[in-house]
Amino acid sequence: MSQTFFVTGTGTDIGKTYVTSLLAKYTTERGLSTAVMKPAQTGMTDPMNGDLGKVKAVAPGILDIPLELACPYCLQFESSPHLAAELSGIEIDLTKITRAYHEIKAKFNPDVILLESAGGIYVPLNQRQIMADIPAALGIPAIIVADAALGTINHTVLTINELRRRDVEVRGVIVNRVPDEPGILIRDNLKMIEKFGKVEILAQAGTGKGFISDLGLRHIF
């Protein structure tokens, strides 16, 4: 039975693709067959050089999933997915995304599926639905990628609470851009996220250095 996680973040350029690639490397190196899915990506001129290609470069052992399943909506204009789709003359259909997910499960039977969101949970898919509707529709838990810097407590706890309000389980937080020797501010940020978010910090990632602490991942994989 597949374990599936919706990897989202507290905002754009927070490091979701980097963390997704580290998660995929972590699982494949432990012998878990792993599929990675990007339901919608914008700014795509060459699909093979998008986020899925970046994950593959770090975790070459992930399953080779046809692009139409791994990325149901690859859109050229770099913007929120709803606008990129509108400029392409289409509308993103959540049903197409859920069908692709279930087809991946049925055809490849992976041990782990990682779905990486575009931006944060309130990024629109269309005029009616947002990113948070994907894990809600699939009934899958989320892992939140957060920045280590000042302001992260507010952004992270708001994201946690909104997902829970939508009945999406939050399995934990991975904090990105943690320096080798974090100072009192960053150490306190992590402590306050756990306290007010009532959530576990699963791992800490350093910029370009991979996971510098990953003890919490052992609780879910």
pLDDT per position as a tens digit, 170-182? 999 999 999 989 9
pLDDT tens-digit map of 34-84 = 999 999 999 987 766 789 999 999 999 999 999 999 999 999 999 999 999
Question: Which residues neighbour 28 within 8 Å (Cβ) at sequence distance 6 or greater?
Answer: 34, 59, 61, 62
Both structure tokens of 204 = 């800490």
Q: Is 38 a catalytic residue?
A: yes
CATH homologous superfamily of 3-35+52-67+110-219 equals: P-loop containing nucleotide triphosphate hydrolases (3.40.50.300)
pTM: 0.96
pLDDT tens-digit map of 78-135 = 999 999 999 999 999 999 999 999 999 999 999 999 999 999 999 999 999 999 999 9
- Among residues 25, 38, 105, 107, the one annotated as catalytic is 38
